[in-house]
Amino acid sequence: MMECPGFQFVFWLRLVAWLRTERSLLRVLHLPAGLMKRHLSYKYGISIPASTQIGPGFYVGHFGGIVVNEASTIGSNCNISQGVTLGQANRGGRRGAPTIGDSVYIGPGAKIVGRVHVGSNVAIGANAVVTGDVPDNAVVGGIPARVLSYEGSAGYVNRTDYSILTP
C-alpha cells in the first residue's frame, strides 16, 4: 500500500494537517513532514494544501495534474482522478471555491470552478466542466456539465473511511 502514490500523498497531507494543529513537542515534526509532502507534491503532480478541509476516506486513484484550491471543501469518501481541478472563480456570481459533498466520484480531467455545491453521491464524468450546482445522486458530464441521470456514484467510489460503513 505504501508504494501507491495517492496513498503516500494523502498520508503526508493528513500528517502535515494534523501537525499544524498540534501544540505538543510533536510540533517540531511539522517542518520535515511538510518537506516530504512538498517533495511528493512535485513528484506526483498533486497540489492540495494541508489547510484544505477534507473529510475522511479521501482517495486519489491516479496521480498527476491534480490541483485543489485551499478554500475548497471536500466531504467524506470522495475519489479524485488524474487531471482534476477544484478551482476558484475570482469574479461574478460564483466567486469563490467549490464545496464537494460525500461519496463523490470526480472523473479524469474534470474541472469544478467557482462557488458551486456538488451534492452527495454524485458522479462527475471525465473532462466535465462544472460551473453550477449539482444535486444529490446526479451523474453529470459535458462542457458545461449537465445532469445525465440520477443513478449517483454507486460503484464508482472506493470507500476508504471504514468507520462509517454500515453492513
| Dist. CA 81–CA 64, nearest whole Å | 9
Which tens digits make up the pLDDT trace of 29-83?
A: 888 998 999 999 899 999 999 999 999 989 998 888 999 999 999 999 999 999 9
CA 128 to chain CA centroid, nearest Å: 15
| Dist. CA 118–CA 72, nearest whole Å | 11
Indicate which CATH number applies to the domain containing 124. 2.160.10.10
Q: Is the pLDDT of residue 97 over 70?
A: yes
| Residue 44 within any structural domain of the chain | yes
Count up the domains in the chain and report the number: 1
| Residue 161 within any structural domain of the chain | no
Give pTM, 2 decimals.
0.87
- Judge contact between 146 and 129, C-beta under 8 A: no
Which tens digits make up the pLDDT trace of 121-139?
A: 999 999 999 999 999 999 9
| Residue 137 within any structural domain of the chain | yes
Parent domain of 45:
5-153
| Residue 62 within any structural domain of the chain | yes
Largest Cα–Cα distance of the chain, in whole Å?
A: 52
Question: What's the mean pLDDT in 134-160?
Answer: 90
- Judge contact between 92 and 114, C-beta under 8 A: yes
C-alpha cell at 138: 446526479
* Identity of residue 56: P
| Residue 104 within any structural domain of the chain | yes
| Residue 160 within any structural domain of the chain | no
| Residue 39 within any structural domain of the chain | yes
| Dist. CA 14–CA 34, nearest whole Å | 10
- Judge contact between 53 and 74, C-beta under 8 A: yes
| Residue 42 within any structural domain of the chain | yes
